[in-house]
Amino acid sequence: MIIKRPHDIQPSEITPRGVYEGRRRFMKLAAAASVLGAGGVLEPARAQEKTLGLPKLGNVAKSRFSTAEPLTAYKHITRYNNYYEFGTDKDDPAEYAGRLKVRPWTLAVEGEVAKPRTFGIEELLKFPLEERIYRLRCVEAWSMVIPWIGFEFNRLAKLVEPTSKAKFVEFVTAVQPDTMPGVHLPVLDWPYVEGLRIDEAMHPLTILAVGLYGEVLPNQNGAPLRLVVPWKYGFKSGKSLARIRFVGEQPKTAWEKANSHEYGFYSNVNPNVDHPRWSQKRERRIPDLFARRETLMFNGYGEQVASLYAGMDLKKFF
């Protein structure tokens, strides 16, 4: 593997670009498709999913915010991942994230709040859980439909009482040098940090996910706790959260630090604003190999979130 300094890193590495990479992935996808037959497109809705058999989550309510679109199969959700702490290939997280230590786990919530607190994961699992079936649109122009289990971020926020100085929220994910081979490489400026404006964070669609398909999150999907913001590109959804800070200034995110020209702070799904190196107008729904569907403004959640951006030039604040 070639070691690069952060400013040398082409975020094309989160993109199937480049001949050998593209070809390698194509071969893998083609192999997967041949196992599925018929191009791998005919996944029945719940497909009687064979899961990893992780602990089940009880008392999960249905949500009115769920989409009725067919779900992406568990095997694809858990084997086609981006989790650079475990490697940059799509199958690296499934292969290596098993090492991640997810117990004990704490989440520190601090900054511009009246009642800073550290939560144990067991406490967080007691929040009223909902199944939220959301579309996930990756900046690389693929998408999935994922039955997350989680709770609204605003419930957690209310417990720590953000002050009037809290204008943004910074999400800092875990660094475990002994379990994460990727953090020894300068792929990104670790830890992986993401951020939201406070009104985006408090929006009812923004959740902290603790599970999917009825079970606790597999490590490769961000166990034990990750952010999910369905109207933004997938990279905003930091995995394995360790710290949440309410802050006055817009946080510097890991991808902005790596390449601010290509990855903006807002990163709302927007078919009208192309990535500098590829179009964002269409997307490939995993595991389809070739079919492309139109990408929807705000990933189809415009009715709920467009008002957050009233009057903003979304080409400038991309």
Contacts to ligand MTE from residues 103-162, by CB under 6 A? 136, 138
Site string for ligand MTE, 163-202 (x = CB under 6 A): ----------x------------------x----------
Alpha-carbon distance 74 to 16, whole Å? 22
Least distance CB 241 / ligand MTE (angstroms): 8
Nearer to ligand MTE, 161 or 189 (CB): 189
Strands (E), the chain: 60-62, 106-111, 117-120, 129-137, 142-152, 168-173, 193-197, 207-212, 215-216, 226-228, 241-247, 282-285, 293-294
- Shorter beta-carbon distance to ligand MTE: residue 21 or 161: 21
**Cβ at position 26, least distance to ligand MTE in Å:** 19
Least Cβ distance, residue 316 to ligand MTE (angstroms): 23
Choose the binding region for ligand MTE from 25-33, 76-84, 110-118, 273-281 (rule: CB under 6 A): 76-84
CB of 219 to ligand MTE, least distance (A): 10
Nearest-angstrom CA–CA distance, 108 and 304: 29
> How far are the Cα atoms of 33, 72, 75, 89 from residue 36, in angstroms, in the given order?
5, 13, 11, 21
**Partners of 143 in the beta sheet?**
137, 285
CB closer to ligand MTE out of 239 and 245: 239
Tell me: does residue 234 bind ligand MTE (CB under 6 A). Answer: yes
According to CB under 6 A, which one of 63, 81, 219, 270 is a site residue for ligand MTE?
81
Does residue 295 interact with ligand MTE by CB under 6 A?
Answer: no
Residue of 179, 206, 219, 237 interacting with ligand MTE (CB under 6 A): 237
Closest-CA residue to 133 (of 61, 220, 190, 39): 61
φ, ψ of residue 185 in degrees (nearest 5)? -115, 145
Name which of 112 and 131 has its Cβ closer to ligand MTE.
Answer: 131
> Order of strands across the sheet with 117-120?
117-120, 106-111, 241-247, 168-173, 193-197
b/e per residue, 221-241, with b = 16+ CB within 10 A? bbbbbbbbbbbbbbbbbbbbb
For position 221 contacting ligand MTE by CB under 6 A, the verdict is: yes
> Given the rule CB under 6 A, which residues bind ligand MTE?
14, 81-85, 136, 138, 173, 192, 221-222, 234-235, 237-240
